[in-house]
Chain A
Amino acid sequence: MTESTFSRKDLIGVLTFAALILVVLPMALDPFRLNLVGKYLTYGFVALGLVLSWGDAGILSLGQGIFFGLGGYCMAMFLKLEASTPAATKIQSTPGIPDFMDWNQLTALPWFWRPFHSLAFTIAAVPLVPALLAFVIGLAMFKRRVGGTYFAIITQAIAAILTILIIGQQGYTGGVNGITDLRTLLGWDIRTDHAKLVLYFISGGLLIACLVAAQTVRRSKLGRILLAMREREDRVRFSGYDVANFKIFVFCVAAALAGIGGAMFTLQVGFMSPSFVGIVPSIELVIFAAVGGRSSLLGALYGTLLVNWAKTTFSEDLPQLWLLAMGAMFIAVVVLFPNGLAGLVQDRLAPLLARLRPQRPELQQVAPAAVDASNQGVAR
C-alpha cells in the first residue's frame, strides 16, 4: 500500500490508540483492572471484523459469537489437552483424556481433538476454522444473493443451533460448563499476574496489528468496492464485479478476526464455554461496535472498551439499572446516532473540516429511496 492510501490522520489515530493501550492503561491500572481491559480488547477483534463486514459491506452478522467461540474453543482444546496429562488425570478410569470426557464414559480421545496436541496446528486453526465455517455459510448465502435482515437472522439461528449442539454433546465439548481449568501454555502458567500482563500486551499488540491490516484493506481498492456494494449493489454487479466473492471474503476476514479474539479471550480468562456462542453474546458484540461507530475502526474499538468498562462499573453497583441502560443504549445508538461515538466526533469536527474534504454522511443521505426499498428484500 502506498503512502496515499494510508493517510497521516489514520496514522495518528493508530498511534494514539497504541499509546493508550500499550502505555497509558498499563501504567494507570492495577493488574486486576488491566486484566479486565485485556478481556475487553479481545472483543475489539470482533469489532474490527464487524466494521469491515457490517459498516463497510453492509453485511450484518448476528452470529459473530460463533466465530469468537470457535477460535476460543480451538485454543481451549489445546490448553485442556496440555492440562490432561496422564499423570494429572490418573484418578480417572481413562487417564490422559480431559476430565469431562471421562465423566461421560469416553474411553479414547475423539479424532477431532487429536490434532490439537500441536500448538502450530492450534494457532493455524484459530483463524482458519472460523473462516472456513464463514466461507461455507457465505458461499451458500451470498451466491444466492441472500442478504440484509434475512442473512442476519440465519446467522442467529446458526448461533442458536451451535449452542444446543455444544451443550448436547458434552462428552466431546464439555457441555454447558465448557472447557474449564486451563492451566499452562507449553508449560508456562497462564494464571499468574505476570502471565496475564504478558498476555495483555500480546493481545494489545495483535489487536493493533489487526487494526492496521483492516485499515489497509479499507483504504485499498477492495475497501472502496465494499462501500460501493453497500450503497448500490446492483451497479457494482453491472460493472462486472462478482459481488458474492467480495462478500464472502470480507465475511471470512471478520470471522477470522473474531476467532483470534476468542483465542486470546480463552488465554486470559482461563476457560471457554458455550455462553459465548449463543444469540445474546453475538448481539452484544454487535452493539459494542455500534456504540463506537460502525463505520470507524477506531471508533468501534473505543466503543468496545467504553461499553465494557461501563458494564463492569455499573453492574457492580446497580445491576438492575444496567440492563435498562444497556437496552436504552441499543435504541439510542440506533435511532439517534447511527454512526456512534465516531459519528458524534465527526459531526463536531465537521464544521471545521467541511471545506477541506467531502463528507461521507451526506453521501449516505443522498442515497435514494430505491436503495432502501431493496434493502428489505431477500433477493437483491
Chain B
Amino acid sequence: MAQDRIDPPPSSALRRRLLQGMAALPAASLAPGLISRAARAAPATAAVNSTGLAVTDDAVTVGILHSITGTMAISETGSVEAEKLAISQINAEGGVLGRKINFIQEDGASDWPTFAEKAKKLLVKDKCAAVFGCWTSASRKAVLPVFEQYNGMLYYPTFYEGLEQSKNVIYTGQEATQQIIAGLDWVTKEKGAKTFYLLGSDYIWPRTSNKIARKHIENHMKGTRVVGEDYFPLGHTQFNSVINKMKLVKPDVIYAIIVGGSNVAFYKQLKAAGVDLSKQTLMTISVTEDEILGIGGENIAGAYACMKYFQSLQNPNNAKFVPAFKAMWGEKSVIGDVTQAAYLGPFLWKLTAEKAQSFDIDKIAAASPGVEFKGAPEGYVRIHPNHHLWSKTRVGRARTDGQYDVIYETADLMEPNPFPVGYQ
C-alpha cells in the first residue's frame, strides 16, 4: 500500500485521529478534577439556569455548528478542532460552574439555510447553552435572526467585515479595522510604501475591507494613494491579466484579500509570472497557515500577512496551546488565526458564565463586556461592550515551510470598532 507509506496524514490517519480525539473527550472529562471539584463547587441547577437550557446537575450542553461537508469544510475544519480541544481542556479542569460540557455537533453543509435550520435545532430542540460556530458571513447572517429570536448565544470565530453587533453574538475574530489599519501603518512606515494595489474576491468581506483600506490610505495617511482595485468572482482561477496589469502599474504594495481556491491559483500564478515576493511587497489579510497548506509555502514565501495570531507566536500560552492541539489532532496539523479565535470561544463563555454565576443567555450577554482571558494563545483578550474582542494586531512574514515569522505587533490592544466612523 504505497498510499500508507508516504506520510500524508490526510487519508485514514486523520480520521483515525479524529476518532481518537472524540474518544478522548469523555475520557478527559472523567479526570479526577471533575469528581472532587464538581461536588464542591457546583451551584444548584435552578440557580444557574432559569430559562430551561440543557443544564443538569453535572453537565451542560453546547452546540458546535460548522460545515464539515461541502466547499467550506476546507476552512471550517480547523475551527471545529479548536473548539473540541477547548471543550476537552475545560472539562479536564473541572468544567463550567462545576458541570461537564457535552457538545452536540451539527453540520452546516456549506449551505446557509441548513445553518439556519441547524441553529434552530440546537436552540429549540437541544436547548444549547451556547453555540460555537459559523465561518462565513453568509452563514452568520443566516443564523443571526434565529439566535435573536430564540435568544441563544453564538461565539463566532472568523475575522469579518464588521457592520454588525448583536446581543446574541460574541465575535472572537477581528472586525475589519482591527485587521487592516495597523498593518497599513506598519507597511507604510517600514517599507516606505506610497502606492497600493487592492485586490479581492468579489463579496462583502473583501469589498468592505478594501473600502476601509482605501479610506485609510487616502484620508488618514500622508502621501499614499491607491493605484488600482480589482475584484474577482469567488472560485476564479485565472489571474494572469491582473498580474500583468500590476506589472505595468508597479505598486509598492499589493494588498490581496483573495479567498478559497482562488488563493492557490493567485499565488501560484504570481510566482510563475516571475513576481518575486522578496522584492515585491505583498500584504494579505486572508491567508493563514491553513491556506498555505494548499498554496504551498514555496509559492508564498516572503508575503506579509496581517493577523492577530500566528502559530509561531512566542508566549507561554501559545507554547502550551500548540503542542496540545497537535497532540489531539496530529503532528502535521497547522493552526491559523481563525482556529485560534475559535479556541477562545469556549473559554470566554466559561469565564463569562463564572462571572455571571449563571448560564442564562441574558446574564451571559450582560456579563460579557470586560471578561478577560489571560490564557489566550494570542496573549490576552478582553471582551468590549460591543461584543467584539480587544486584541493586538500582528504582522507576519511567510516562510517556505508554511509558517510565519512574527515581525511586528502593536504595542497596545486594538479597540474593536465594527461601525468605524470616517471609514464608511
Contacts and interface: CB of A to CB of B under 8 A. Distances in A.
Interface residues of A, number: 34
Contact of B204 (A39, A103, A312, A319): A103
B69 A320 contact: yes
B206 to A, nearest CB: 11
Nearest to B232: A168
A177 B424 contact: no
A100 B208 CA distance: 11
A269 interface: yes
A316 B120 CA distance: 13
B408 interface: no
A24 interface: no
B107 interface: yes
Given A103-B163, A103-B204, A275-B111, A181 B69 contact: no
A271 B107 CA distance: 20
A104 B117 contact: no
B316 interface: no
A271 B163 CA distance: 18
Contacts of B192: none
B151 interface: no
Size category, B interface: 35 or more
Contact of A36 (B117, B137, B231, B233): B117
B204 A164 contact: no
Contact of A180 (B107, B117, B142): B142
A168 B207 contact: no
B191 interface: no
Given A32-B125, A180-B141, A271-B141, A319 B109 contact: yes
Contacts of A276: 113
Given A170-B203, A271-B116, A275-B112, A181 B141 contact: yes
Nearest to B107: A319
Instruction: Tell me whether chain B's interface is mostly helix, strand or loop, or mixed.
Output: helix
A32 B145 contact: no
A180 B139 CA distance: 11
Interface in B345-391: none
Contacts of A273: 112-113, 138, 142
Contacts of A167: 202-203, 233-234
B57 interface: no
Given A170-B204, A177-B137, A177-B138, A32 B124 contact: yes
Interface string A318-356: 011011000000000000000000000000000000000
A91 B116 contact: no
A319 B419 CA distance: 37
Interface in A301-323: 312, 315-316, 319-320, 322-323
Interface of B: 68-69, 106-107, 109, 111-114, 116-118, 120-121, 124-125, 136-138, 141-142, 144-145, 149, 163, 202-204, 207-208, 231, 233-234, 419, 424
Interface of A: 32, 35-36, 39, 91, 93, 99-100, 103-104, 164, 167-168, 170, 175-178, 180-181, 191, 269-271, 273, 275-276, 312, 315-316, 319-320, 322-323
